[in-house]
């Protein structure tokens, strides 16, 4: 077995919350098979100087990430299942630190007995977004990607491929969307999963939104913690689900009117 760093109580708590969200994603049907991935910038919880860093397993990425050297990320493993992560985080995720040569990383923690877990195939989207968030000094440290069914279904409907129409619909189906998803949802046109093109298009969308939909694929959200990121997706999907429930019953939902939405106050909601 390779080397592994000690985990602080704070980091342990973060991992516990990740496992909880992984369990919920699976139960909701938003993380079928090996779908879905989560990453967290955990640099502040990792010692700056790690003795014998070179003895930790090291691997190469097919792209360089200048600016991320020395930063550490918890990241779910490629091909791993959320339902397994919920039970055994260390066997289905890893904490990696980008090396000085930023197309390499060391695995500091996680993996199976031989520390063989490699980061998600969506690593480019995750690292590109973390780099953007760090450059912006943004408070968000968490990225989650999942496959919420009703939101994905909406991205298959021609009418809602316009961001403005999509946002109007989601706000009108659930007042919490207006309160919690204040920047609205971004829509990234279909790109090959795992590709750098998808990563670049997502970073562009994240510049303006905290949640983006990947057309005909899934959803990606950022948050200060994993529960906040999950809640955002949950609130949005509830809006989409209510829309489809009405449609499935053969009814056309009225939706909240502009006047009703105008009266929605953040304060009143947060007190509930
Ligand atoms: Zn996906």
CATH code for residues 9-121? 3.40.225.10
9-121 and 148-264 have identical folds: yes
What is the arithmetic mean of pLDDT over 80-93? 94
User: 36 CA distance to ligand 1 centroid (A)?
Assistant: 5
User: 99 CA distance to ligand 1 centroid (A)?
Assistant: 27
Query: In 3D, which of 101, 40, 93, 39 has the Cα closest to residue 70?
Result: 101
pLDDT of residue 270: 56
Contact 222, 210 (CB under 8 A): yes
Residue 177 has pLDDT above 60, yes or no: yes
What is the arithmetic mean of pLDDT over 185-200? 95
Assign domain 148-264 to its CATH superfamily.
Class II aldolase/adducin N-terminal domain (3.40.225.10)
Q: What DSSP character marks residue 160? A: G
pLDDT of residue 267: 53
**Own/partner long-range contacts of 6-14 (Cβ < 8 Å, ≥24 apart):** 7/109, 8/45, 10/45, 11/42, 11/45, 11/46, 14/40, 14/42, 14/45, 14/74, 14/225, 14/226
What percent of the chain lies above the pLDDT cut of 70? 94
Catalytic status, residue 215 = no
User: 179 CA distance to ligand 1 centroid (A)?
Assistant: 27
Condensed to tens digits (0 to 9), the pLDDT of residues 211-228 reads 999 999 999 999 999 999
Condensed to tens digits (0 to 9), the pLDDT of residues 242-262 reads 999 999 999 999 999 998 998
Longest Cα–Cα distance in the chain: 65
Q: What DSSP character marks residue 162? A: S
Q: Which of 48, 60, 88, 122 is catalytic?
A: 122
How does the average pLDDT of the chain come out, rounded? 93
What is the arithmetic mean of pLDDT over 165-190? 96
| Domain boundaries defined on the chain | 9-121, 148-264
Question: Which residues fall within 8 angstroms of residue 225, CB to CB, at 6 or more apart?
Answer: 14, 17, 141, 142
pLDDT of residue 118: 83
pLDDT of residue 54: 86
pLDDT of residue 2: 65
pLDDT of residue 110: 87
What is the full DSSP assignment across 169-223?
A: HHHHH-HHHHHH-TT-EEEEPP--TT-HHHHHHHHHHHTT-SEEEETTTEEEEEE
User: 33 CA distance to ligand 1 centroid (A)?
Assistant: 11
pLDDT of residue 129: 97
User: 261 CA distance to ligand 1 centroid (A)?
Assistant: 32
- Of the listed ranges 61-65, 147-151, 233-237, the least confidently predicted one is 61-65
């Amino acid at each position: 077995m390779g080397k592994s760093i000690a985990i602080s109580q704070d980091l342990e708590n973060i991992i516990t919350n990740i496992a909880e969200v992984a369990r919920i994603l699976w139960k909701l049907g938003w993380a079928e098979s090996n779908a879905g991935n989560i990453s967290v910038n955990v640099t502040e919880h990792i010692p700056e100087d790690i003795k014998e860093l070179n003895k930790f397993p090291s691997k190469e990425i097919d792209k360089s990430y200048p600016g991320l050297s020395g930063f550490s990320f918890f990241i779910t493993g490629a091909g791993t299942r959320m339902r397994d992560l919920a039970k055994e985080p260390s066997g289905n995720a890893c904490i990696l630190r980008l090396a000085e040569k930023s197309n390499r990383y060391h695995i500091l923690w996680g993996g199976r007995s031989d520390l063989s877990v490699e980061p998600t195939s969506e690593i480019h989207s995750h690292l590109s977004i973390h780099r953007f968030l760090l450059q912006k000094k943004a408070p968000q440290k968490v990225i989650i990607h999942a496959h919420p069914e009703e939101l994905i279904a909406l991205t298959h409907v021609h009418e809602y491929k316009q961001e403005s129409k999509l946002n109007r619909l989601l706000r009108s189906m659930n007042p919490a969307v207006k309160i919690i998803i204040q920047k609205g949802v971004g829509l990234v046109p279909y790109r090959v999963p795992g590709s750098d093109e998808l990563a670049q298009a997502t970073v562009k969308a994240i510049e303006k939104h905290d949640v983006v939909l990947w057309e005909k694929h899934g959803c990606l959200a950022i948050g200060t913690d994993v529960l906040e990121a999950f809640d955002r997706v949950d609130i949005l999907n509830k809006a989409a689900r209510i829309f489809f429930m009405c449609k499935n019953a053969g009814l056309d939902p009225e939706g909240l009117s502009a006047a009703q939405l105008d009266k929605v106050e953040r304060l009143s909601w947060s007190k509930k």
